């Protein structure tokens, strides 16, 4: 439908003025919580103050404070755009706004969370522009920021500081439930999704006894479900080491001292902690959602066994070569010997060495680094994605599983279908990835086949959001243990 050039919508805090293009209205940088600055740094999210006049929502808000992503070598660089002030915002794309003289049927909604290892990323980046995805299936698309790194996952529960990033995500979900009708969305038909850390987050939101009942459907892309929520003891130890690096150990006024530091110091300390904890083959960040903290009451295995996901349709999948994104540029992995690679595998899983040997036997021409990369892809991403799909489908729930196999034609780093490669296709935003190594095509003129793949994959995601079934030829519901029911995209 035609939309006015600068549509205005009312939210609980005030009106917002967006933009319209190609039949889709966009409202960017809409606050869902107060800025986490001053006394609000390291505090639970709070309501944003209201504003009297229409607020400009033509541009996204700033990213949450962060260092450059370790995956820029794969996805392409970003110009830093972060600022603590104004960072807790979301973005809404809608193809149908309510009107005063008509009440059209409200549209299904997708709330999607970005990845970045709980350390980087922003829902406002053009990589995740939801315009084409919204148009692909007549759905409302929402992306949101949440606090990252130490600002989001510092573990000081005795001071009320725990899983703040998780709390942000739950607050964004609650905001959508209360406000999305004004944007033409149906709060009763809500899909939550995300990629990588965002998939981890979306799964736990869907499993939570608090937020789960609000969610109808779930999309998980490359969920690192082989990574358990952080153990509270490990989280406490990492926090202790972080405070040592900041020179704050023993401070009785610790929250006030943390709030007084420039945010650049907090990020620099986190960088040093990351370097100190770095081990070959281990990609876990120093701080991420802690088991038993807010929004993370139990493991996904226990929640699944308790039936917490029952009744929700699930779309889930991985890329073929997930771990090349992490290992292809790591000299410790590129030059690893067979004995060292086997030892790393043994440290990852009880039968890791035996699985390493089986892959090596199946791929006699593969270098030890390639064998370790394949095994780590299985352990961190694929095995548990399929385990969740198996359990959910066996319980009689609709499940659709994909594997994304697109690999760049020009691939000197031998990335294959790396972690994150499906994102330009999910949102149909190929032009937002100039010279991205994981794509291997010119952003000025992406290959016709790549554009067609983007249209197909975004249509699948949008129609699943709308109906619980991806409207793609030959994509049938998943049958546990049957690889023929996994839909491949290439």
Is 155 within 8 Å of 296 (Cβ atoms)? no
| Distance separating alpha carbons of residues 129 and 108, to the nearest angstrom | 18
Sign of CA dihedral 158, 163, 164, 169: negative
- 89 contacts 32 by C-beta, under 8 angstroms: yes
How far apart are alpha carbons 417 and 428 in whole angstroms?
17
Q: How far is CA 33 from the centre of its chain?
A: 19
- Please tell me the distance from the alpha carbon of residue 445 to that of residue 55, in angstroms, as a whole number: 36
288, two tokens: 């991420």
Task: Identify whether 419 is a catalytic site residue.
Answer: yes
Q: State how far the Cα of 312 lies from the Cα of 218, in Å rounded to an integer.
A: 7
For residue 265, give both structure tokens.
């110091």
Rounded Cα distance, 74 and 91, in Å: 25
Q: Sign of the C-alpha dihedral, residues 84, 76, 26, 189? A: negative
Q: Which of 322, 370, 374, 422 is catalytic?
A: 322
Is residue 114 annotated as a catalytic residue, yes or no? Answer: no
Q: State how far the Cα of 84 lies from the Cα of 454, in Å rounded to an integer.
A: 33
**Long-range CB contacts (within 8 A, 24+) of 431-438:** 432/125, 432/126, 432/127, 432/129, 433/75, 433/76, 433/127, 434/76, 435/76, 436/74, 436/75, 436/76, 437/73, 437/74, 437/75, 437/76, 437/408, 437/411, 437/413, 438/74, 438/75, 438/325, 438/408
User: Could you tell me where the beta strands, DSSP code E, fall in 228-378?
Assistant: 313-319
Selecting among 87, 182, 196, 222, the annotated active-site residue is 196
Candidates 120, 419, 422, 458; catalytic one = 419
C-alpha to C-alpha distances, 254 to 15, 164, 264, nearest whole angstrom: 38, 17, 18
Mark whether 238 is an active-site residue.
Answer: no
Residues 6+ positions from 56 with CB-CB distance below 8 Å: 16, 17, 29
As a whole number of angstroms, the distance between CA 318 and CA 113 comes to 16
Which residues have C-beta within 8 Å of that of residue 146, sequence separation ≥ 6? 64, 88, 113, 152, 165, 166, 168, 169, 172, 201
Structure tokens at 130: 């939801």
Active site residues: 196, 322, 419
């Amino acid at each position: 439908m035609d939309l006015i050039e600068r549509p205005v919508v009312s939210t609980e805090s005030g009106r917002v003025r967006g933009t319209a293009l190609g039949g889709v209205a966009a409202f960017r940088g809409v606050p869902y919580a107060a800025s986490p600055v001053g006394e609000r740094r390291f505090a639970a999210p709070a309501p944003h103050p209201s504003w009297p006049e229409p607020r400009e929502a033509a541009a996204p808000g700033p990213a949450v404070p962060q260092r450059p992503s370790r995956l820029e070598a794969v996805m392409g660089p970003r110009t830093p755009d972060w600022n603590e002030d104004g960072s807790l915002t979301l973005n809404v794309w809608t193809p149908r706004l309510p009107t005063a003289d008509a009440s059209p049927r409200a549209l299904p909604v997708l709330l999607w969370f970005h990845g970045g290892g709980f350390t980087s990323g922003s829902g406002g980046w053009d990589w995740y522009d939801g315009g084409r995805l919204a148009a692909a299936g007549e759905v409302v698309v929402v992306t949101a920021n949440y606090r990252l790194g130490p600002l989001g996952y510092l573990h000081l529960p005795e001071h009320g500081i725990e899983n703040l990033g998780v709390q942000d995500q739950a607050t964004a979900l609650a905001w959508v439930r209360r406000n999305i009708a004004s944007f033409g969305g149906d709060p009763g038909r809500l899909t939550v999704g995300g990629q990588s850390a965002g998939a981890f987050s979306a799964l736990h939101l869907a499993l939570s006894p608090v937020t789960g009942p609000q969610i109808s459907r779930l999309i998980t892309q490359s969920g690192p479900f082989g990574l358990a929520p952080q153990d509270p003891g490990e989280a406490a130890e990492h926090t202790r080491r972080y405070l040592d690096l900041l020179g704050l150990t023993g401070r009785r006024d610790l929250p006030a001292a943390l709030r007084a530091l420039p945010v650049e110091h907090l990020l620099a300390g986190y960088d040093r902690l990351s370097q100190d904890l770095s081990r070959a083959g281990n990609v876990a960040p120093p701080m991420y959602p802690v088991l038993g903290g807010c929004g993370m009451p139990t493991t996904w295995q226990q929640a699944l066994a308790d039936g917490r996901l029952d009744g929700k349709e699930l779309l889930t999948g991985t890329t073929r070569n997930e771990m090349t994104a992490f290992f292809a540029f790591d000299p410790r992995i590129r030059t690893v010997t067979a004995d060292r690679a086997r030892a790393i595998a043994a440290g990852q899983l009880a039968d890791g060495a035996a699985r390493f040997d089986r892959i090596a036997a199946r791929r006699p021409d593969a270098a030890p680094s390639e064998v370790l990369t394949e095994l780590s892809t299985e352990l961190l991403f694929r095995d548990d994605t399929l385990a969740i799909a198996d359990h959910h489908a066996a319980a009689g729930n609709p499940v659709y599983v994909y594997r994304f196999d697109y690999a760049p034609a020009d691939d000197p780093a031998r990335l294959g279908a790396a972690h994150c490669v499906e994102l330009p296709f999910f949102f149909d935003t190929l032009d937002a990835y100039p010279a991205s190594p994981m794509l291997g095509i010119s952003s000025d003129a992406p290959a016709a086949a790549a554009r067609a793949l983007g249209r197909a994959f975004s249509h699948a995601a949008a129609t699943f959001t709308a109906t619980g079934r991806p409207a793609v030829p030959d994509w049938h519901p998943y049958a546990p243990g049957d690889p023929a029911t996994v839909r491949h995209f290439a």
